[in-house]
Amino acid sequence: MKVKLIFLVLISGLVACGAVENSRYRNTVMLEKPPVLALQKTPKNAVIDDSIEPKKQLGGLDEKVVFLDESPSKLLLKLPVIDAWRLLGTAMRQSDMKVTDYDKAKHLYYVSYKSQGMLSGIVGFLNKDVSEVIYLLTLEPKDDETVIRATLASNHEQRESANNNPDGVYENPAEDSNGLIEHLFHVLRDDVKTE
């Protein structure tokens, strides 16, 4: 009898716990509902052709940029000079090259560039105060293409750059315009993000 009484008390306790009605669990009016999406139906006989709309280019110009291995080296962009100007500026911003000055009417960029060669890398590592050299990038229109040349900027431009150094020291810079053109070639061919 004692066991039956304990069993009856436990059963009634469980029933009492389950019988409590909490309205917040039963009312779902306040719950967030997913949005209704409009579905676009394509006709059954429709042909989907990706060649109608050009795909967005994610990176690099590939065959639109050609490295002309002449002396001095040049780049040939198979684009009009206006588009080449815009893409070259984009490429330099994306590769963290510093444009010190420009003249859009004459298609000139003045660029600060530190040589990327092995020997200059070792010298730059040992001597942190090595200043960057100023180069002049010239864009020349040629039919519907553009030729890009790099030359060492004038001594006046180099001194202006040295005046911005805290030490104000000016040394004759080492010429590496071919290295700059090669660097720009790789950036334009492989890495530049176009819109």
- Global pTM? 0.59
The three-point CA angle 43-48-53 to 5° equals 125
Q: Which two tokens stand for residue 139?
A: 């864009």
Instruction: State mean pLDDT over 51-73.
Output: 73
Confidence of residue 136 (pLDDT cuts 50, 70, 90): very high
pLDDT > 70 in the chain, percent:
67
* Cβ contacts of 151 within 8 Å, gap of 6 or more: 72, 135, 136, 138, 177
pLDDT of residue 191: 81
DSSP-derived 3-state class of residue 136: strand
Domain range summary for the chain, segments of one domain joined by +? 62-191
Angle, CA of 119, 177 and 138, to the nearest 5° = 160
**pLDDT per position as a tens digit, 139-154:** 999 989 999 999 998 8
- Supply the CATH classification number for the domain 62-191: 3.30.310.170
Q: Tens digit of pLDDT for each residue in 19-54?
A: 556 666 677 777 787 787 777 666 666 555 545 545
